[in-house]
Amino acid sequence: MKFAALAAVLNPIETLAAVPHIRFTKVENRHSQLKVHPLELPDTSLVVMEDQSIKDYLTKIRHPNNLHKNDIILDLEHFQLLWSVVEKMGKIQATVGHGNFAVLGFDDALLTARQYVQIGRFTRHELDFLEMVYYRDAKEYGFNGEKVIAALNQTIGKKDVYKVPYTGHHLFRGESLGKYEKVRRDLGEELVLTSGIRGIIKQFYLFLDKACRHGGNLSLASRSLAPPGYSFHATGDFDVGQKGLGNDNFSEKFTSTIVFRRLEKKGFVECRYKRDNMLGVRYEPWHVKL
């Protein structure tokens, strides 16, 4: 087991043959569909679960970046498609800028790719792959959260968002922006906005890039990043952190900061993904829920 886990990190493509794979076939509605081995995750509709099932489940979300039994991993053909679309999305982000990329619609992203020769249009196979990922039930990966954006081509209106100065992030006007401003007033300059709105293309990029860096493991990606369509960053949630902490704001180190303690004391802490939650997601104390 130790050797398999090490091999997955050092050479994830060669490890694909040793774990459950995803393949897809055409169906009448043209959308691609996954064929997967069933996951052995606890049924969240049951009040009582076997002790071993609980232990196995908690091990997964407490160690989200480890390779676990029954993780769903793309086969080599679709890993190559994954790598290709991630590369194009990265080029789109570099072309339009990180801030604009976060609120860019799916159709606008495709248009941008067509317009710039250094990016290149998405192929039919790549688009089928993206549709396949988007319209699959994320429970197959082990993610039990709610799908909040049903349509792949849903857009974000420019009048509905506000770019927060000196952060590079956008928030929705109204409740989301109001809550952030209240938190910022109460906590001062030690608090930083680390992630705001994430449109569908942004969430696609984060999720697929994570999977790509771990050999096409969709289950692993879903333990720390909601699959596209499932992220509440598309409806108003946002992330905050401690000034100067950097990427450690997205780790449990954040809970030892002054900002977190003040958030807790003032009653702002209402985690979307609590410790040992039943949604198949790691603990995210930095995620502010609306």
pLDDT tens digits for range 125-144: 999 999 999 999 999 999 99
* pLDDT at position 11 over 80: no
Residue partners of 127: CB distance under 8 A and separation at least 6: 110
Which tokens hold the place of 173? Answer: 């006007």
* Contact call for residues 194 and 241 (beta carbons, < 8 A): yes
pLDDT tens digits for range 233-274: 999 999 999 999 999 999 999 999 999 999 988 887 778 899
Residue reference for tokens 């799916």? 106
Buried residues in 28-42 as b, exposed as e (16+ CB within 10 A): eeeebebebeebebb
Q: Where are the alpha helices (DSSP H) in 97-214?
A: 98-102, 106-115, 124-135, 175-187, 200-213
Number of domains in the chain: 1
Beta strand spans in the chain (E): 21-26, 32-35, 73-74, 161-164, 169-172, 191-195, 238-242, 287-288
Buried residues in 254-278 as b, exposed as e (16+ CB within 10 A): beebebbebbeeeebbeebbeeebb
* Contact call for residues 259 and 275 (beta carbons, < 8 A): no
Domain CATH number, residue 51: 3.30.1380.10
Say what the pTM is.
Answer: 0.83
Grade residue 33 by pLDDT with cuts at 50, 70 and 90: very low
Residue reference for tokens 């989200």? 64
Residues 110, 216, 252, 90: is their CA dihedral positive or negative? negative
Q: What's the domain range around 223? A: 2-36+43-288
- The answer for 33, left when phi > 0, alpha when psi is -120 to 50, beta otherwise, is beta
